[in-house]
Structure 1
Amino acid sequence: MILVVGSYGAGIAVRVPRVPEGGETIADSTLNIGHGGKSSNQAVAAARQGASVSLLTALGDDAFAESARTLWDEEGIDHSAVKASSGSTMAGVIIVEPSGENRIAIAPGVLDDLTPDDLEQHRSLFAAADLVVICLEVPTPVVERAITLAKENDSTVILNPAPATSLSHEVIAQVDYFVPNQSEHEFYVREGYQALPTQTVVLTQGVDGATITTGDGTETLAPLPQPQVVDTTGAGDTFVGTFAAALDAGEDLRPAVQRAIVASSLAVTVAEVIPSIPGRAAVDDALTNYLHTN
């Protein structure tokens, strides 16, 4: 079983003909309100690859919260450990350019109320989890306790350090798989963090594929280019969730990363996050072609 610890938020996406300058108003934009939050997205990606998934996050007492529960029911994700609080569910405003590039601003809402004590109340989930996936859209003490609690229960830990935030290097060192993108990786290099030889770093590089670094060396795996990029918003989360599901299913590191590359490449061809996350059959088909050419 995979336990995902972190965030859910409403995604408020505005597709613009171009990014406005300071003080400028641009018309001819389109609006979509959908599901977001890195952890929820990752949970959906893992579930669509066939994994059994539980999610631990926090919701407010608004319409976004009810919509989230409906989504998780439809995707078969256990959300019995989700904390219900009085206040606003996290929301992110996403500006999407015609190229598919995006800019995101987040209002955390009740996610800021999540505490390490909330994790302690669900020790049984950590004990039952084979693999725990954690992102950084929740308070730092929650992230660090989630990592240590997972290791206390002998779970494999994937840390997606997004958005990049200062963490205890001693705690990061307990992570089995450290999965940053290029900018996040650069942040932790500047912070002075150096991965241990026993730790695996999977650096996601978008159109340049992904680079795996272990104590045995470094290997870069090819991307799966797409003729048209529509929206990159959910690609990173699709990668992480798919990678987690592949490891949970017993795949070795290299094929797990290849599957994640393919899934995230498919995701950029569809607008909006949840609709863009591919199912297992679509990934299987595309993976066959990918492996034939790489």
Structure 2
Amino acid sequence: MILVVGSYGAGITVRVPRVPGAGETIGGSTLNIGHGGKSSNQAVAIARQGGQVSLLTALGDDAFADSARELWDHEGVESGRVKATRGSTMAGVIVVEPSGENRIAIAPGVLDELTPEDLDAHRDAFAAADLVVVCLEVPVATAERAIILAKEGGATVLLNPAPATSLRHEVIAMADYFVPNESEHEFYVREGYRAPATQVVVRTQGADGVSITTGDATETLAPLTQHSVVDTTGAGDTFVGTFAAALDAGAELRDAAQRAIVASSLSVTVAEVIPSMPGRSAVDEALADYLNTTN
């Protein structure tokens, strides 16, 4: 079983003909409200790849919370450990210009109230998990506690350090898999973090593929290039979720990473995060073609 600890949030996207000035109202805009939050996205990706997954996050008492539960019920994500409290579910407002340039404002809401003590109340979940996935859209102390509880319970830990945030290096080093993108990796290098020889660093590099480093050995895996890129928003979460599901199913490191490369590549061909995440059979089919061209 995989336990995902972190975030759910609603994404409110407004596409505008231009950004209004101070005090100005403009028409001609379009609105879309969708599911977001890195941890929820990753949990859905895990479920679509056939993984058994439980999500530990926080929701408010609003319509966004109701929508989240409907999503998880539909996708097969176990959500009995989600903290429900009075207040607002995390939401992000994204204003997108015709050029694709965007401006984003995040209201964390009750997600900021997910505490280390809340996690302590679910020690049994950490003890039961084979793999725990943690991102950094929750308070730092909560993310660190999730890693510590997972290791105390004997689980493998995958840390997706997004968004990049200062953590105690000794806690980062506890993660078995450290999975940043290029900018996140650069952030931790600047902070002086050096991965121990026992930690696997899986760095996603977009069109440059994925590099896997263990100790002094690094291997770079080729990307799967798509001719038509529609939306890259959910690619990172698709990669993490697919990678986690493959590892939990017993795949070797290289095989799990290749499967995740294929899934994330398929995701960029479809608009919006949840609709873009491919199912297991789609990944199986595309993976065979990818391996034929890269091996």
Compute the TM-score of the two structures, normalised by the length of structure 1: 0.95
1:181 to 1:245, Cα distance in 2 relative to 1, 3 A: same
Contact 1:102 1:233 (C-alpha < 8 Å) held by counterparts: no
Other structure's SS at 1:93 match: strand
Q: Does 1:57 align with 2:52?
A: no
Query: Which position in structure 2 is the counterpart of 1:131?
Result: 131
Q: How does 1:3-82 map to 2 (within 5 A)?
A: 3-15=3-15, 20=19, 28-82=28-82
Contact 1:64 1:89 (C-alpha < 8 Å) held by counterparts: yes
Superposed displacement of residue 105, structure 1? 3.1
Contact 1:101 1:231 (C-alpha < 8 Å) held by counterparts: no
What one-letter code is carried by the residue in structure 2 that aligns with 1:47?
A: A
Query: Which position in structure 1 is the counterpart of 2:273?
Result: 273
Contact 1:96 1:231 (C-alpha < 8 Å) held by counterparts: no
CA distance in 1, matches of 2:258, 2:3: 22
Q: How does 1:137-152 map to 2 (within 5 A)?
A: 137-152=137-152
CA distance in 2, matches of 1:223, 1:51: 24
CA distance in 2, matches of 1:149, 1:100: 41
1:227 to 1:16, Cα distance in 2 relative to 1, 3 A: farther
CA distance in 2, matches of 1:226, 1:97: 24
Query: Which position in structure 2 is the counterpart of 1:108?
Result: 108
Contact 1:136 1:164 (C-alpha < 8 Å) held by counterparts: yes
Percent of aligned pairs sharing the same letter: 78
Other structure's SS at 2:159 match: strand
Query: Which position in structure 1 is the counterpart of 2:183?
Result: 183
Query: Which position in structure 2 is the counterpart of 1:229?
Result: 229
What one-letter code is carried by the residue in structure 1 that aligns with 2:199?
A: Q
CA distance in 1, matches of 2:183, 2:130: 29
1:148 to 1:32, Cα distance in 2 relative to 1, 3 A: same
Q: Which moved more, 1:82-91 or 1:203-212?
A: 203-212
Superposed displacement of residue 12, structure 1? 1.1
CA distance in 2, matches of 1:44, 1:160: 16
Superposed displacement of residue 13, structure 1? 2.0
Superposed displacement of residue 22, structure 1? 6.9
Deviations 1:53-98 (A, max 9, x none): 0000000000000000010000111100000011000012234566
Query: Which position in structure 1 is the counterpart of 2:83?
Result: 83
Superposed displacement of residue 30, structure 1? 2.7
Superposed displacement of residue 14, structure 1? 3.0
Aligned length: 293
What one-letter code is carried by the residue in structure 2 that aligns with 1:169?
A: H
1:100 to 1:178, Cα distance in 2 relative to 1, 3 A: farther
Contact 1:150 1:156 (C-alpha < 8 Å) held by counterparts: yes
What one-letter code is carried by the residue in structure 2 that aligns with 1:195?
A: A
CA distance in 2, matches of 1:43, 1:128: 17
1:21 to 1:159, Cα distance in 2 relative to 1, 3 A: farther
Compute the TM-score of the two structures, normalised by the length of structure 2: 0.94
CA distance in 2, matches of 1:284, 1:99: 35
CA distance in 2, matches of 1:22, 1:190: 37
